[in-house]
Amino acid sequence: MDKDEWAAAAVKGDEDALFRRIDIDKRQLYGIAYSYMRNETDAVEAMQETVCRVWAKRRSLRDPRLFTTWMIRILIRVCMDERKKKRRELVSADSFVQGWSESRAINNLPDMAERIDMEAQIKSLPSKYRMVIVLKYYRDLTITDIAELLEKPDGTVRTWLHKGLTLLKNDLTAIGKGEDHGQGGRKGMGRSASGAAE
């Protein structure tokens, strides 16, 4: 059976097929959960809760080919529910720093990005910008996928991504010039980094 057949079987109540299908995406799921929850224990718990919800809501999946997107949407909602309860940050800066070395290079960012400490720059980004950056560049989701997951228009996601990359690029450029990235790197936002988003 291929992944779509496993998804279809899971919808019909085949528990073994469900776990086989989830296993295909487990690394991606863990990465997203860790980005939200900040530590391994909470990330694993979020994944476990997600599996329970996926099983409970399986009959709501109309197209087995959309299983991954559907499941990630459930995972994000689980993580956001946990965030509200624990009042933690939406995305951990530490997870971005860890993921930086594992991710592909972000287009139009200075080459020096891989040689400096990213934590301060990532922490300075608004949560919605951090969210789309991690989903796009660390989890390889498309703009359309992210829009579906966050239930936002494609244009909104593109705007958030562009603004987030612009802020990050300006901060990195400011550091390269020896400026105070907390202020100097933010000047001129919206007038530079054209094409930074996709």
pLDDT at 87: 58
pLDDT at 57: 93
Helix axes 154-176, 143-150, angle to 10 degrees: 110
Burial bucket for residue 99 (CB in 10 Å: 0-12, 13-18, 19+): middle
pLDDT at 155: 94
Q: HSE of 51 in the Cβ direction (CA atoms, 13 Å)?
A: 18
pLDDT at 12: 94
198 and 161 Cβ atoms separated by less than 8 Å: yes
Domains detected in the chain: 3-86 (1.10.1740.10), 93-186 (1.10.10.10)
The tokens for 160 are 């958030």
pLDDT at 61: 94
pLDDT at 123: 62
Structure-derived torsion over alpha carbons of residues 83, 44, 121, 192, reported in degrees to the nearest 10: -90
Count Cβ atoms below 10 Å from residue 27 Cβ, excluding itself: 10
Q: What is the rounded CA–CA span in Å between residue 178 and residue 162?
A: 24
Tens-of-pLDDT digits for all 198 residues of the chain? 899 999 999 999 999 999 999 999 998 898 888 877 878 898 899 999 999 999 999 999 999 999 998 998 899 889 888 877 765 444 444 455 445 444 444 444 444 444 445 656 766 678 788 778 778 876 778 898 888 888 889 999 999 999 988 888 887 677 665 554 444 444 443 433 334 444
pLDDT at 196: 40
Q: What is the rounded CA–CA span in Å between residue 171 and residue 121?
A: 7
